[in-house]
Amino acid sequence: MLAEKYQAEIDQILKKFPPEEKRAAVLPLLYLAQREGGHITQTEVAEIAALLDLDATQVGGLIGFYTLLHDKPEGKIRVQICTDLPCALRGAETFAEELCENLGIKLGETTDDGFVTVEEVMCLAGCDRAPMFQVQEPTGIHYHEHQTLETALEIIEEYRKRESDA
């Protein structure tokens, strides 16, 4: 339960909003719920909804809308490649396919070792620097621009090395 584990943080988040607008705390609370396990459970959705006097469907709908929120466990790192039209024109779709092929997966899948999930997303605000991707991992979000297959594989190996050294 979130309240048992993070009551002080929940209180701090809620203090930032007037009581009549506490529903505005939904995104910070979802991020808090996701922080440890990398995804948000249905139990956590229901708890956040109750805390904010919202319907669980309203809270859960945000998870599907925002690419930084996830409702199921996947890789320890998420490689999110922008394949929107401007990036596609700069080779992002081919880049994504080749990266997945080299990792032995398809877009949306996770490697057999459970380390990398590769997803396509729309717009990372770097069209002129495509192919590009962001990596979501426990310490934050990191952007990698002007990528080639080789540089992307090197970056993923660096993340693997950091994980094994930890």
Quick one: pLDDT at residue 63?
A: 93
Domain membership of residue 72 (yes or no) is no
Statement to judge: residues 59 and 101 lie in one domain: no
Statement to judge: residues 89 and 147 lie in one domain: yes
Statement to judge: residues 83 and 53 lie in one domain: no
- pTM higher than 0.75 for the full model? yes
Structural domain for 98, as ranges: 77-165
Query: Is cis: bond before 131, omega within 30 of 0?
Result: yes
Statement to judge: residues 18 and 83 lie in one domain: no
Domain membership of residue 20 (yes or no) is yes
Rg of the chain in Å (alpha carbons): 18
Provide the 8-state DSSP code for 18: -
Statement to judge: residues 57 and 128 lie in one domain: no
Q: Specify the residue for token string 């199921």.
A: 72
Statement to judge: residues 39 and 118 lie in one domain: no
Q: What is the mean pLDDT of each run of 10 residues along the chain (166 residues)?
A: 91 95 96 88 96 95 90 92 95 97 97 95 92 89 96 97 86
